[in-house]
Amino acid sequence: MAPVETTPTGDGDGGVAESQEGVLLYYKYTDVTSLAGGREGLRIWYEMSCLELGLVGRVRVAKDGVNATLGGSLQSLRRHCDQMEAKGFEGIDFKLDRSHGALNERTRDESGFDRLRVQETDEVVSLGPRAAGILAKEGAPHLSPEDFHRELSDAKESEVVLVDVRNVYESRIGKFQCEGVKTLVPETRTFAQFPRWADTRERELRGKRIMMYCTGGVRCEKASAFIKAMGDGFENVVQLKGGIQRYLESFPEGGHYKGKNFVFDSRSSVSPRLVRPEDCTVGRYPQTKVRILCLHGFRQTARSFGGRTAKLRKRLRGAAELIYIDGPYLLAGGTRRAWSSEADGAELDPELGLEGLQTEGQGPLALACRYVEREIHALRGVGILAFSEGAAVVEAALSGGGLRCLRFVILASGFVDRNAGRDCIPLELPSLHIFGGDKDRQVPHQRSEALADRFDSRKILRHEGGHFIPSSKSYVADILAWIRETLSKTRGGL
């Protein structure tokens, strides 16, 4: 059996009781379609074997391999590793660690560790259409954690550049920082956005020793292959073997890695062992600010909505962090967006990595709801600020039983989507509704009032303007007071 390493417990003998809960991470790039039964057969096997062992978590069964994050007893997880090797999956770096369980019910639900999900996909991880044809087997050579550390310690900025392959919500809580070496952090929201970022940083990367890292290694395999394929001047690329996970095992004090390692299970983040547990923030900033996901309106973008709410964001910055996301559909011309494909010329943005969210027979509104659900979980948001069409998506998601991790929503100039096709069971989530009067020519106030009536717990803040969110000092103070009052009633305050 391939090595299965477990973080020592410090219980005297260094052992871990097999009944102790654990987390297992692994991936394997291989041609799954050549296996007996293909993808479907492997998916069925995963479902049966994992359920028999009492495992939970997520598994992606793709044409080019598998990627799994599983939870259960250490004994069951070890048995699963044995079963994988018996099935012919050799040479996998199984990353097994003990777990104290989910921090709370919310993090368990957010991470997907409340049940088992096995999904058939085209790729283990997708870089999007810009990287069509890029194969993991063409990736860069691997450096062990010790060699990676040694090379960083001796590196010069003029020769070496570090590239963080992870998304923005991961790099915000921790990254490699080495004096004299530049770390490039793409701040992408999906892996499919990495190629476009790399294109914009061509000058900074060309001719350098490019050292790449990610959580466990699966994304670096594809991302390093893409960098190498950029042509002359991009041959000198290496990737951290086993990712940050293995590095922190080799350098438990953190080494050149500063902060926490975001993980996709109920632990949410893992810190170097010398960091006190009470100093950890479980996958996000210390809770002096609330994180609010912002959804724009029809024919807007995350950037334009951010500009329209800049003053609001400035007045809230001491108490809230506003995070803006783009709608999934590009309108004709490619510069504006929507949350539904019903507009003429609307096409799904391939760089958002939504192929795994699509199901047969679903409508565009259902896809938008799943996309928002994914983003709120990934960004660890506690609330949503949604404008116009964005508010309609939020109402639809809530009516469909989604977004259970939220503690509040703020819906501005919103309405109930006429094509939603759902029952009218009242929604219980605390809600704040912002809208004007007759001056709003896009969404009549009667439709915003009908949206407010969908909620049992609601407050309405009217204004005298049109289709916008007021940002006067007194108006924002009312918004902030409502947020604080709401949070004080739902599992703690601001």
CA 175 to centroid of chain Cα atoms: 16
> Which of 178, 214, 220, 280 is an active site residue?
214
User: How far is 144 from 206, CA to CA, in rounded Å?
Assistant: 24
| Catalytic site includes residue 369 | no
Residue 76 contacts residue 141 (beta carbons within 8 Å): no
Q: Helix, strand, or coil here: 380? A: coil
Q: Helix, strand, or coil here: 437? A: coil
Q: How many CB atoms within 10 Å of residue 275?
A: 14
Residue 243 contacts residue 174 (beta carbons within 8 Å): no
Q: What is the DSSP letter of 455?
A: B
Residue 184 contacts residue 161 (beta carbons within 8 Å): yes
CA 277 to centroid of chain Cα atoms: 23
The owner of tokens 């990627």 is 67
Q: Edge to edge, what strands does the sheet with 337-338 contain?
A: 337-338, 329-330, 347-348
In the structure encoding, which two tokens stand for residue 320, read together? 């809230």
φ/ψ of 407, rounded to 5, equals: -110, -15
DSSP H stretches of helix in 343-459: 364-378, 389-399, 445-452
Q: Which residues are catalytic?
A: 214
